């Protein structure tokens, strides 16, 4: 598949306001409400030494007073197609790094790069490129969303390029990723679907059920075979029915499943989000962006794989038929909406944006909470939940902006 033309949005240059250099000096953030796994601690402090969070502050530490702010773990996005005008599916390495940086400016300190449907040769080539960035620590892994999805629930994927999930072809993709394949979204009811789920589970790759037309019974079978994620629940799957409950009921009721939710006010009615969140609980929900190129960039025309997208008023839709085509969401906005619109507690929002995705990725020994020994990945928010600072591995990406 030829690489599609680049995005044609209006650039919004990113600006950061770094605090005076702290390189080589331990730093203590003090006076904030610090959200820990055990709950929120008022007038707390977080100590950073090098790239890690530490316990007691050394005498030579630089103290930054962040009274009136929240300090929370860095956000973790397990489903993201791009940002800053750049696509993870079709962009150059420079483009991809630009997209990653765009999301870091919005608090996402760990990101899984997602691709969209393409032909197999193209996707294996992209897998090789993205795996190099994973090896360098720029991304946490690769998520293949398509081509093994249902033409009935294709969403913003090219129907001409869809195919059944033949285990041999699924294996080809994960081999091309050189151990960096994190997740594959499948319509598990298609021929080869259940066998592909077993293959993925055997290789330590998350099998995600999505873009599916499965029945309740078929979904239960896939979960029993090893599927552990619901790709953007509610979207691109049959609606919940009282006689034919479909995949939504099966995914919500099973404690083995982590539920992806897109909290942008477009993909889900607030009542649907409340239903899913309170049925599954914060320990089973991962808020995602499903972002495409326009995230952090602006309205305009873009390409999602081979399909042209129009972004207007921040909503991305296929030019051809108006189908929603990913989002322009960033996780700082998702956090604020979760607390101020959806009424979630700060602690539950932190779980859904940090702790739960960290555990799903098997990285909760390093990221996802503000505990000694873990990476110094954190977000600073003011009392109105506006982002005022981002630190990744002990270095300020943004801020702190305290005035």
Does residue 152 have a pLDDT over 90? yes
pLDDT: which is higher, 245 or 19: 245
Q: What percent of the chain has pLDDT over 90?
A: 90
Please pick, among 290, 332, 342, 364, the residue that the annotation labels catalytic: 290
pLDDT the model gives residue 24: 58
Which two structure tokens, joined as six digits, stand for 64?
């930054």
Q: Is 290 a catalytic residue?
A: yes
Residue 1 pLDDT > 60? no
Nearest alpha carbon to residue 333 among 286, 276, 265, 392 = 265
Band of residue 305 on the pLDDT scale cut at 50, 70, 90: confident
Token pair recorded at residue 211 = 């873009």
User: How far lies 44's CA from each of 279, 295, 356, in Å?
Assistant: 32, 33, 23
Inform me whether the pLDDT recorded for 14 exceeds 60: no
Lowest mean pLDDT among 216-225, 227-236, 302-311: 302-311
- C-alpha–C-alpha distance, residues 76 and 19, integer Å: 24
Pick the range with the lowest mean pLDDT from 53-57, 106-110, 351-355.
53-57
CA within 13 Å, CB half, 274: 8
- Average pLDDT of the residues in 225-251: 97
pLDDT of residue 85: 96
- Across the range 145-159, mean pLDDT stands at 96
pLDDT mean over 58-75: 94
CB neighbourhood size of 255 (10 A): 9
pLDDT band at 56 (very low <50, low <70, confident <90, very high): confident
What's the average model confidence in pLDDT over 291-298?
96
- Residue 15 reports pLDDT greater than 70: no
User: 219 vs 59, which has greater pLDDT?
Assistant: 219
User: For the residues 52-65, what does the mean pLDDT come to?
Assistant: 89
Write the pLDDT tens digit of every residue in 170-184: 999 999 999 999 999
The model's pTM is 0.94
Share of the chain above pLDDT 70, in %: 94
Res. 9: pLDDT tops 60: no
Candidate from 25-29, 110-114, 337-341, 364-368 with smallest mean pLDDT: 25-29
pLDDT at 19 over 50: no
φ/ψ of residue 333, rounded to 5? -70, -40
Count CB-CB contacts under 10 A for residue 25: 13
Phi first, then psi, for residue 298 (nearest 5°) are 140, 170
Burial class, 56, CB count within 10 angstroms (exposed 0-12 / middle 13-18 / buried 19+): exposed
Supply the pLDDT for residue 20. 42
Backbone phi, psi, residue 120, to 5°: -65, -40
- Is 60 exceeded by the pLDDT of residue 121? yes
Nearest Cα neighbor of 97 from 130, 123, 127, 74 is 130
Mean pLDDT for the chain?
93
Q: What is the mean pLDDT of residues 128-150?
A: 98
State the pLDDT at residue 57: 80
For range 192-202, the mean pLDDT:
98
């Amino acid at each position: 598949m030829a690489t599609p033309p680049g995005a044609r949005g209006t650039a919004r240059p990113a600006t950061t306001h770094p605090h005076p250099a702290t390189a080589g000096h331990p730093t203590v953030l003090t006076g904030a409400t610090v959200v820990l796994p055990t709950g929120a601690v008022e007038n707390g402090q977080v100590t950073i030494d090098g790239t890690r969070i530490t316990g007691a502050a050394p005498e030579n530490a630089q103290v930054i007073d962040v009274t009136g702010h929240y300090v929370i773990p860095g956000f973790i996005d397990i489903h993201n197609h791009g940002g800053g005008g750049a696509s993870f599916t079709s962009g150059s390495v420079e483009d991809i790094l630009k997209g990653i940086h765009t999301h870091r400016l919005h608090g996402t300190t760990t990101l899984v790069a997602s691709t969209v449907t393409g032909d197999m040769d193209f996707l294996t080539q992209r897998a090789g490129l993205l795996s190099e960035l994973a090896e360098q620590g720029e991304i946490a892994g690769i998520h293949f969303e398509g081509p093994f999805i249902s033409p009935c629930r294709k969403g913003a994927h090219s129907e001409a390029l869809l195919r059944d999930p033949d285990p041999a072809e699924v294996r080809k993709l994960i081999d091309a990723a050189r151990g960096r394949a994190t997740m594959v979204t499948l319509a598990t009811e298609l021929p080869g679907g259940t066998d592909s789920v077993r293959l993925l589970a055997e290789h330590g790759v998350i099998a995600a059920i999505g873009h599916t037309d499965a029945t309740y019974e078929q979904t239960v079978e896939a979960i029993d075979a090893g599927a552990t994620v619901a790709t953007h629940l509610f979207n691109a799957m049959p609606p919940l029915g009282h006689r034919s409950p479909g995949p939504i009921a099966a995914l919500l009721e099973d404690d083995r499943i982590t539920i992806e939710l897109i909290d942008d006010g477009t993909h889900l009615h607030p009542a649907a989000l409340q239903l899913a969140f309170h049925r599954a609980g914060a320990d089973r929900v991962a808020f995602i962006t499903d972002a495409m190129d326009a995230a952090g960039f602006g309205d305009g025309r873009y390409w999602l794989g081979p399909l042209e997208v129009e972004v207007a008023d921040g909503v991305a839709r296929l030019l051809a038929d108006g189908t929603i085509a990913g989002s322009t969401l960033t996780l700082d906005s998702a956090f604020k909406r979760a607390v101020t619109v959806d009424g979630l507690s700060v602690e539950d929002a932190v779980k859904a944006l940090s702790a739960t995705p960290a555990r799903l990725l098997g990285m909760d020994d390093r990221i996802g909470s503000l505990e000694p020994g873990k990476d110094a990945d954190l977000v600073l928010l003011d009392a109105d939940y506006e982002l005022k600072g981002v630190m990744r591995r002990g270095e300020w990406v943004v801020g702190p902006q305290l005035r």
